[in-house]
Structure 1
Amino acid sequence: MKKLLVKSEVPDLFVEPYITSAYRKPFCGPLQCIKYAFTLHNDVGNFWTHFLTLVIWITWLLFVMQDYDLSSDYYGPLLWCWIGCCSYAFFSSFAHMFSPLSEVMYHVCFMLDYTGISMYMYGGGVAYYYYERPLTLTFYSWEGVNIGLQVMVTMMALVFSCLSRFFWRRYRYTIRAMSFAPPFFINITPVILRWFECQGEECVLSSLPYHAYATLFTFLTVLPFVTKMPERLAPGKFDIFFQSHQLFHVSAAITTTSQMKLLLLDSRGRQEILTKNAQQTGIFPSASKLYSLFFIIFAVKLCVVILLGVLLKMGIVKDNKRKDVKHPKSS
């Protein structure tokens, strides 16, 4: 195993703010990247926080499938939301493991990470629309408009997050956080409106605590990501454990888990009233359409990442963290 490096020994491209040591040797091979997952370095916590989360969510899904018919039309949005959640945990783990491969792969890995997040936001948005929407407001009777809105805002979130790697260096973390703010507010708006417009049994929200947890931890997720706390206060003291990105990962996992739980509760708790409403409005999820649309959107987003990767390789777009990347001398 290669020795770990200090900040001055790695190219600026691979340096993270206020992290001064325990860097992996850049430009290593895939096998070396995998070996690094079992070494204490400054990115190992970021890998394991989401890889273990992925394992937990997949295991939980297997238990959920025993109680919910996720292959049915009604529970289709729940399945694709779950797949979206798992995709961001997978791509995050992939990015933190293989980002040292090369300059181009460093960016491609994290653009794939943003792709996973945007698919999670899209899957979650679709599930929120079908299970959380108020039934008394005309806007939410426009199924195509609401699904189209989810496609648009999550695509914009991906594009701006990716572009922040090449432009707007000073504000890149804020831009990435703000890019995913519109999907978040679009998702929670129907819950808030349903609460104010509810009548009778619709006013009894057994999922309310999980809505509160999800909202609280969403803001707690953004805080360390943007502020780079606590390592900003003590550079070098949080190089391996308890750095902001690890806190960001853990808080994001709690947020997503809360969202999964509330969707499980509300999809079953509102099944009768939503099915009855579907007979009047025709608003009912289609498993086959959800399947097709999910993969079409995923393919388009992958094309965005591939395009930017090619432009980066050709030198048409350039990393915004440094003017020049110098490869460290081999030991």
Structure 2
Amino acid sequence: MPRVSFAPPSQCLTFLPLLHRLLPSLPPTVRDVDVPLLFRERFILSGYRQAGLPWRCYVLSLFQIHNETLNVWSHLLAAVCVVMRFMMFAGILGFRLQGPEGQGLSVDASSLPLVLYVFSAFTYLSCSAAAHLLQSHSEQSHYSLFLLDYVGVAVYQYGCALALSLYSSSAAWTQSMLGQVFLPAAAFLAWFSCTACCYAKLRFRRPYPLRRKLCQVLPMGVAYVLDISPVAHRLSTCSWTSSSALPLHFLQVVLFLLSAFFFSCPIPERFSPGSFDIVGHGHQLFHVLLSLCTLAQQEALFQDFLWRRPALVREFGEQRLLLACVSFPCLTLCCAMTAFAMRRQAQVQLKKEQR
């Protein structure tokens, strides 16, 4: 009877060292006392990645279990879902790019705010995932990436404001005084939220005082109250059976308020430090709830877009719609310049501390 050999073929023996070099084993995670103070989180005692490793280690830590794994994957998967759902929606509507053969995605004045909204959602989710994945490389990288994260949040705030004011508002709200000043006010508050978060990041040191959290939460809270006002007006004045989007809007408001609670309070890890290091701490719950909020909001906006698109140009005028959309890159540029200036300040600050 012939013997069966289970020895790997010689080609495998030469391929395995190459694979090992391409995908090196990552250093194990460490405890909070083994990383600089800047990287430590209250009540999170373990699961930290070492600082100062090569960049590839942090990129590959996407597939490692550590205390940022869920933060990264929740927003990374949500970003993919946002883009895939929009592609499905665009295909159903038959958007076409006016190329040589007339195929692809076509954007007109009525659909451009929706495209900008999807771009803003993808931007904030991607920036957040990148910040949490790569921030442990160095203190300079930590500051740079989270300043970029704040830019993404501000861009998303204004993308929401733009889309909600055009697609999800009622005629009474649009004609009100708030409706008339809404977009300029939303743009200012988005920039101010970005600036306040950047300032708080550079100004305060761990253990963070309460006023750092207030610097972050209060401007974003005021911006959210303004941005959600078109939806709040519709929810309070219209029958929820009149539109399939209204229950989705209510869901996204509830999810956002829950996410804001977990962002503001280190719960449940406060009550059992070390027990929720890898799964279940408050910032992870914030990420998951905010991702679900974004997906619910996107779906509601798709429904509102189908409802409002036929009359949108007639109601607002094509020139006014295009002008509103031009404000989006202007706001993005202002936030990026603010973050860049803050980054230079962080570099100066770190050099002083290292002397």
When the two structures are superposed, what TM-score results if normalisation uses the length of structure 1? 0.87
Matches of residues 85-234 of structure 1 in structure 2 within 5 Å?
Answer: 85-136=121-172, 137-139=175-177, 142=180, 145-167=181-203, 169-171=208-210, 172-194=212-234, 204-234=242-272
What letter corresponds to residue 76 of structure 2 in structure 1? F
Q: Does 1:297 align with 2:337?
A: no
Q: Does 1:32 align with 2:57?
A: yes
- Cα distance in structure 2, aligned partners of 1:163 and 1:10: 24
- Cα distance in structure 1, aligned partners of 2:55 and 2:324: 35
Q: Which runs of 5+ in 2 are unaligned?
A: 1-25, 96-105
Distance 1:122 1:243, change over 3 A: same
- Map of 2:30 onto structure 1: 5
Distance 1:248 1:227, change over 3 A: same
Map Cα deviations across residues 256-284 of structure 1 (whole Å, 9 max, x no partner): 111111111112113345444336xx785
Map Cα deviations across residues 175-210 of structure 1 (whole Å, 9 max, x no partner): 323221122111221233345566xx9982321111
SS at match of 1:35: helix
Question: RMSD over aligned Cα, in angstroms?
Answer: 2.5
- Measure how far apart 1:87 and its partner are: 0.4
- Cα distance in structure 2, aligned partners of 1:236 and 1:290: 48
SS at match of 2:299: helix
What letter corresponds to residue 88 of structure 2 in structure 1? F
Q: Does 1:258 align with 2:296?
A: yes
Map Cα deviations across residues 215-267 of structure 1 (whole Å, 9 max, x no partner): 10111101111111111111111111111111111100111111111111112
- Cα distance in structure 1, aligned partners of 2:44 and 2:354: 18
What letter corresponds to residue 28 of structure 2 in structure 1? K
Contact 1:166 1:317 in 2 (8 A): no
- Cα distance in structure 2, aligned partners of 1:214 and 1:40: 30
SS at match of 2:203: coil
- Cα distance in structure 2, aligned partners of 1:132 and 1:47: 30
Distance 1:315 1:52, change over 3 A: same
Distance 1:264 1:284, change over 3 A: farther
Count of matched residue positions in the alignment of Structure 1 and Structure 2: 313
What letter corresponds to residue 150 of structure 1 in structure 2? A
- Measure how far apart 1:211 and its partner are: 1.2
- Map of 1:314 onto structure 2: 348
Contact 2:78 2:295 in 1 (8 A): no
- Cα distance in structure 2, aligned partners of 1:9 and 1:141: 52
- Measure how far apart 1:133 and its partner are: 2.5
SS at match of 2:42: coil
Contact 1:155 1:301 in 2 (8 A): yes
- Map of 2:316 onto structure 1: 278
- Cα distance in structure 2, aligned partners of 1:317 and 1:269: 55
Query: Higher relative contact order by CA 8 Å / sep ≥ 6: 1 or 2?
Result: 1
